[in-house]
Amino acid sequence: MNAAYTGPLERLDNCRWRIPKSYKPQMRVDGIIYADDQLIESIKQDQSPEQVANVACLPGIVGASLAMPDIHWGYGFCIGGVAATDPENDGVISPGGVGYDINCGVRLVRTNLVQKDVQNRAEQIVNRMFEHVPCGVGVGGRIKFNRDELRQLLADGSKFVVDSGYGWKSDLDHTEAGGRLEHAQPDYVSKRAFERGSDQCGTLGSGNHFLEIQIVEEIADEEAAQAFGLSKGQVTVMIHSGSRGLGYQVCDDALKDLRNVPQKYGIDLPDRQLVCAPVNSDEGQRYLGAMQAAANFAWANRQIMTHLAREVFAEIFGQSAERLGMTLLYDVAHNIAKLEQHEVEGQRKTLCVHRKGATRAFPAGHPELHADYRPVGQPVLVPGDMGRSSWVLVGNAPAMEQTFGSCCHGAGRVMSRKAAIRAAKGRAIHRELLDRGVYARARGRTGLAEEQPEAYKDVSQVAEAVHNAGISRKVARLRPIGVIKG
């Protein structure tokens, strides 16, 4: 995992590098990595480019095996990987191309508040959020669902919890896929996964998940920012979480169930972690249905936390969330496989697009976008680390031509969690963050150390790379002032 990559990398232009399919006899397509000169040197320090080459060996893959600038080593696929397969030509679906935290994703909530309204209240807001939004390893919430309710939630996603009083109808309009994949199959979700999810909807979790209070510090695209309702000095709330223990269990179950499936279908894999099944096989459909159910759980999870965040702001500022203008700008998934329409060699095809640590980035005019954003393109939310910034981007037309409408999803780790803890020894990370103007609280003893800014690439450099590549363009930079972590 930690060994440097020594295989071929050919420069295509200032933003793209190719691993030619001649590198390995099993490769069906090239590998393409999006990065500038500085980022590519960091990327070569682990085996993630090798994983890009391995993914290029999957049956039915079309175009290229792709990686975004935030690429780093992961299970099977690299994190930051994108691959589309054609189900009608033996295309496969791979749990490693989605990840354990199914539909880990990000949502951004606008407010009518500005910096002066919160500058003396950041500590109060963070402390109250920390009390009100459950966070930490294995921590459950006070909002619980019985098995029948949870089954309905897995089928209907965000709609179920909004109908239950945990949100507004407009939230669904500004959530990818409306917060619901319609072919989800709760019956394919195991009893153990149901048990793990029973009290975890509406909880943050741990690791790199966070809830952050931010200030819009820079506007890079006035037209798109206006369409997104963003202005300089505005206060926003960003929520990053996924499908919790339920999604982890769905992935774990699938990896066991699919263990011998490649051999059954005569699929030769360069890495056992790429275990997969043809999309149209019974095994592939079972994983797809369970994965879609877990994705719906994740959207419902972030929806309930939005409701909880609104409650905190309403309490502190003595006004309703409606009066505070706490509308959802957007919610995007970044660990998912979706059936989407794309053009391949002049033909319109339904492809299974794996995005693992990558974000959908549809351009202006795309029919799947809500009317509010169709004229400018889809918001792309790219969280950074706790001490620097996050970015709002917007999808660009070249993304449809080059990356199956995909973009980066974050800063990308450069330091393992263990290495980050070692690097934090003798330091007080919370005080270092406070010196940067960020009040932070974490449930776990090592949470802030694991997630310190130095553990990540600079997200502004990642955003610049995809902006220069033309697959997305920069809209607004958001500076953190308060954060809670598990």
- Is residue 85, in this structure, part of any structural domain at all? yes
In the chain, the number of structural domains is 1
Task: For the chain, count helices (H), then strands (E).
Answer: 17, 19
Query: What is the structure's pLDDT at 325?
Result: 98
Helix boundaries (H) for 233-281: 244-257, 261-264
d(CA 64, CA 404): 10
Please tell me the predicted confidence (pLDDT) of residue 444.
76
Which pLDDT does position 137 carry in this prediction? 85
What is d(CA 271, CA 275) in angstroms, rounded to the nearest whole number? Answer: 8
Which residues constitute the domain of residue 424?
10-485
Distance CA(46)–CA(7), nearest Å, equals 11
The catalytically annotated residue of 240, 409, 430, 467 is 409
Task: Please indicate whether residue 409 is annotated as part of the active site.
Answer: yes
Given a contact cutoff of 8 angstroms between Cβ atoms, the answer to whether 63 and 82 are in contact is no
Longest dimension (CA), the chain: 65
Does residue 2 sit within a domain?
A: no
Does 4 map to a domain?
A: no
Does residue 398 belong to any structural domain of this protein? yes
Residue 120's H or E segment, with its range, is none
pLDDT value of position 443: 87
How many Cβ atoms are within 10 Å of 416's Cβ, its own excluded? 16
CATH number of the domain enclosing 478: 3.90.1860.10
Are residues 407 and 358 in contact, defined by beta-carbon separation less than 8 angstroms?
yes
Query: Which residue in 109, 84, 16, 98 sits closest to 406, CA to CA?
Result: 84
In this prediction, residue 447 carries a pLDDT of 83
- Radius of gyration, CA atoms only, the chain: 21
Interatomic CA distance for residues 88 and 384, integer angstroms: 38
| pLDDT by 10s per residue, the chain, length 486 | 469 999 999 999 999 999 999 999 999 999 999 999 999 999 999 999 999 999 999 999 999 999 999 999 999 999 999 999 999 999 999 999 999 999 999 999 999 999 999 989 999 999 999 999 999 888 888 889 999 999 999 999 999 999 999 999 999 999 999 999 999 999 999 999 999 999 999 999 998 999 999 999 999 999 999 999 999 999 999 999 999 999 999 999 999 999 999 999 999 999 999 999 999 999 999 999 999 999 999 999 999 999 999 999 999 999 999 999 999 999 999 999 999 999 999 999 999 999 999 999 999 999 999 999 999 999 999 999 999 999 999 999 999 999 999 999 999 888 888 999 999 898 999 999 999 999 999 987 788 999 998 989 899 999 999 999 999 999 999 999 999 997
Q: What is the pLDDT of residue 191?
A: 97
List C-alpha distances in Å: 362 to 34, 171, 369, 376, 377.
18, 19, 8, 10, 6
Chain centroid offset of residue 361 CA: 12
Dump the DSSP string for 155-198.
HHTHHHHHHTTSS-HHHHHTBGGGG--TT--GGGS-HHHHHHHT
In this structure, is residue 5 part of a structural domain?
no
